[in-house]
Each structure stands twice: as structure tokens, then as C-alpha cells.
Amino acid sequence: MPSVSFIPVAALHLSLIGALQGYKWTYSGPDGEHHWSKHYPYCGGAFQSPIDIKSELLRFDPTLRPIEVQNYNLSPDEQLTLGNNGHALQISLPSKMHISSLRYRYSAAQLHFHWGSSSRIAGSEHMVNSKQYAAEMHVVHYNSDKYPNISSAVDKSDGLAVLGVLIEVGEFNPTFEQFLRFINGIKYRDQKVQVPGFNIRALLPARLDEYYRYDGSLTTPPCYPSVLWTVFRNTMTVSQKQFNALATALYSSSAQESATIPLHSNYRKAQLVDSRIVLASFKEGRGLHGTLTVTSPHTRKQIIQQLLVGDLADLADEELYKLLPTGSQKLQAGRRKNLKNLERDDQTKPKQQMTSPSLRRKSSCFVGKLGLAGDTLRYSSLEQRVFHQLKESHRKNQLVEALRDAVYPELNLKSYMDCKSHLALPTVRQILCGRPTDEALELERSLTKAWMNQRETSVANKQKSHVTKYGSISKPPSQGYPHPWLLPMEWED
């Protein structure tokens, strides 16, 4: 998701951060998306966007309210800045425009587009059941209740909210034409023109009560996982002529460069799901019959409380089954055998080695502090801290993995408590790090073994089964349980 606004300070181009660091990025070639993480480590991290919104990821959430937007109908007397930032066509927006139906007030900063090409029309970033649309519009908002401008909000875990609109080629769109007619004034990178204000609401679907919701990231560098995504179920249409104008008129190169580089196909490919689920505000129709309703937030809080302060033996006997898939007996039998082997191996170890909290923390706790109190993560400062620690140990090349290890449990827990992800293994292990008890140690050791087995399986079957680094499976089990890694534990009191 490109992130430039041409309003000074308040709508800072999000990828200006990278520009100040001198790092060039593109969508293909040697600076393409597969290389982004070299200079922007979060691009290789957790909870990335866009994703393929598949039916099996969906959970119906009856508490999702219709999206309410305010002050979206702008007067022609208001001047907006239309620009070409080298990555997308973008329009600056006044902060009086805002979303009023979320937990915080999110004020508008800018909107921009991603699109395909005249030869391959498909160019949306999000897909629905693997269908890619012609283009996609993102209306970017920042949390103005907590942060003074978008540059302050961009690297905070609750900083941004983006409305995504999928675009199809179809009927002529008169509102789209309001700014498209000025496109020849921004043919080259860094060019911008003033355009009269218009009704931005008319660019959104008529129905704002049907949408998909999940926790994700910027879709361009620096890829901070700071976005609350709302992708509308219903699409917007533009005519074939309008799409061709968008896809052929712009260049990603500047007017001073001798070689002109066309600006098209400016979309990031779908990212790993990372234990996330996608909430749907609607239940009926389009393959959503029988969609599971999200787990009760009360149940989720009970599970976390039990992991934090409860009797882990009781939890293992009575509660953890709520996290388990209904896998085959053969799979579970194999896992139990692995756990028994682990127990047998542990009997040969010195007792101090088995029970030392310091050893356990060294092996299983991640960099950073688990945000159980709902603290807001600041990604830029976390990156600096992790990089400094790795630099001291001469492991700077492990920054992407270390950052992911540091941030994943916190993101997963936050998203889990908001019903937008499943509780994943690294998060459970991180919570257990704070419990220096024999039961916590035994459970953590078993989880470690299960995690190692899962990672070995992941490496062996990555292309075939789409298993992520953390053991999360892109296609959840048929009955909606999240993970095959955690089995009912048997305890001896």
C-alpha cells in the first residue's frame, strides 16, 4: 500500500521513510518485492498484506457495525493534490474526513490506486477466493485520537485503518472521471496538480455494511503491520476506457530521466495468512453459507487468563481442547509418541537443567515484551532495539527473523483477543515464559517439541501444504479449529 500524501507533515508519504534512507524499491526486478526485506525487514515479517480472502478463513461476526464515514462530500472549492509518486496515483485528503464507527476516530490522509496493465487487466492487491480484480483503491486513515498525524501513526500497532475497494471493468464511473481527466498533468514521478474537491463517498460501494475485516500491514515498504483492514464485499466499476487511461498514462520514472518506465502492475502479491482469520460482517450468500461464527471473546479471555495465572494441569485436561483441530487419530497418535520420546529423553537430563527458568527463558522467550496490557507497539523503535542487540552479537543478517520472533506473539495475541486470528504456538510459549512452574515447564517443553516437528514438516512440504514458518496452516481444519500442534496433555498431580 503506497503511502504518500502531498499534504505537508500531516499526510507524509509513508514510503518517504525509505526514501530518506536512500533505498529504492519497485514491484519487479532487482529492487522488487522479493528483495524488500533486505532494507525493510518488516516486509519479511508477520501479519503482512495483502491476502487472498478465502472462504475457509472467514468467520461471521454479528457485532461488526456498518462503516460510517463523515465529511466525505467535498466542495469543488476545496483543492486536492493529485500526484504521481512513482508507485501509484494518489490524492491528498483533508483530515476532516474520518471514519466514526471504529474504536478510535480515524482521519483521512490520502487515497491511491493499484492496477494491472492493458495486457493483463488483473491488478488488485487483495483477492477473494483467488480472484484478482482489475484494480483496487485504498483510502488511508490514521488514528487521530492518539496521534497528531500519519507520520506519527504509521509505525504504531493501532495507527492506521484502510478502506479497500475492489474495482472491476464495467460501467463508466463519473466520479472516477472527476480526477482522471487531470491525469496527463502527472505523467511522470513527483509531478502533481491541484484538482477540485468532489464527493469521495461516491467512490465507495453503495453498501458500507458488508465487508471483510482483518489485521494486516502496509502493502509497500516499510510494511509495518499497523493496518486495520476493511475490504468491502461489493465492488466499484470503471469503464474499459477509464481503466486503459489509468494503466497507460503514467510513468514511474521522472521527466528528467532519458528512459521512461511505465507505471502499471503496481500490486504486491498475496502474503501468508499467519494464523489470521478474516471476519465478515455478513453471513448469507456467495459461498458463505455455514460460515462459522467467531469464538466468544469471553472464552478467549478465559483461555488467556488460564495460561497467565490458572492451574495449567486443569487447563491441559479441560480447556486446551478448545484450541485443537479434530485431526486424524493417526496424526495424534504420532504426536503422542513424539511427546513420550521427549519425556523419556528428559529423564536422562539433570533435574536442574529440566526446571531452570533461566534456561527455559533463554530457549523459548522472544525479544521484546508481550503486550498483555494492550500496550501499543512502536515498530521503528523495536527495529532499532533488535538491530542493536543483533549487532552486538554479530548477527545483523538475522534481523528479519529476529523482528518476526519479537513481534509475532504480540500481534497474534492482540488479534486473537479481537477475534481476528487463532492463538498460535509462539504466543502460548511466550506467555508460559512468565510462569516459572513445573507445569509450565513441562507444557513448554512439549510445545517446543511439537513446534520443532511442525517446522521440520513445514520445510519438507512447504510447496505442497503451504505451512508457514510458525506452523500456521493457510487452510484451517474443516471444523474450524486452528492448529494441529497442540494435543490434550496428560498430567500427574
Residues designated catalytic? 87
- ∠ CA(374), CA(48), CA(3), 5° rounding? 95
Q: Binning pLDDT at 50, 70 and 90, where does residue 85 land?
A: very high
Mean pLDDT over 450-459 rounds to 62
**Residues 184/161, Cβ–Cβ less than 8 Å:** no
pLDDT for the residue 306: 81
Q: Which numeric CATH code is attached to 16-280?
A: 3.10.200.10
Mean pLDDT over 333-351 rounds to 39
For cell 504456538, the residue is: 425
Mean pLDDT over 57-70 rounds to 95
Whole-prediction pTM = 0.81
Kindly tell me if the per-residue pLDDT of 262 is higher than 50.
Answer: yes
Give the least confident one: 206-215, 428-437, 461-470: 461-470
Bond into 222 cis (ω within 30): yes
Mean pLDDT is highest, among 346-360, 442-456, 479-493, for 442-456
SS (H, E, C) the chain: CCCCCCCCCCCCCCCHHHHHCCCCCCCCHHHCHHHHHHCCHHHHCCCCCCCEECHHHEEECCCCCCCCEECCECCCCCEEEEEECCCCEEEECCCCCEECCCCCCEEEEEEEEEECCCCCCCCCCCEECCEECCEEEEEEEEECCCCCCHHHHCCECCCEEEEEEEEEECCCCHHHHHHHCCHHHHCCCCCEEEEECCEHHHHCCCCCCCEEEEEECCCCCCCCCCEEEEEECCCEEECHHHHHHHHHCCECCCCCCCCCCECCCCCCCCCCCCCECEEECCCCCCCCCCCCECCCHHHHHHHHHHHHHCCHHHHHHHHHHHHCCCCCHHHHHHHHHHHHHHHHHHCCCCHHHHHCHHHHHHHHCCCCCCCCCCCCCEHHHHHHHHHHHHHHCCCHHHHHHHHHHHHHHHHHHHHHHCCCECCCHHHHHHHHCCCCCHHHHHHHHHHHHHHHHHHHHHHHCHHHHCECCCCCECCCCCCCCCCCCCCCCCCCC
Distances (CA, A) of 141 to 33, 98, 110, 203: 24, 7, 7, 16
pLDDT for the residue 456: 65
Q: Give one word for 480, left, alpha or beta, with left for phi > 0 and alpha for psi -120 to 50.
A: left
pLDDT tens sequence across 393-416: 888 889 999 999 999 999 999 999
Distances (CA, A) of 234 to 92, 168, 202, 211: 24, 10, 13, 8
pLDDT for the residue 356: 34
Mean pLDDT over 358-373 rounds to 44
Q: Binning pLDDT at 50, 70 and 90, where does residue 249 land?
A: very high
> Given the DSSP bridges, would you call strands 58-60 and 278-280 parallel, antiparallel or unpaired?
parallel
Domain ranges of the chain: 16-280, 297-465
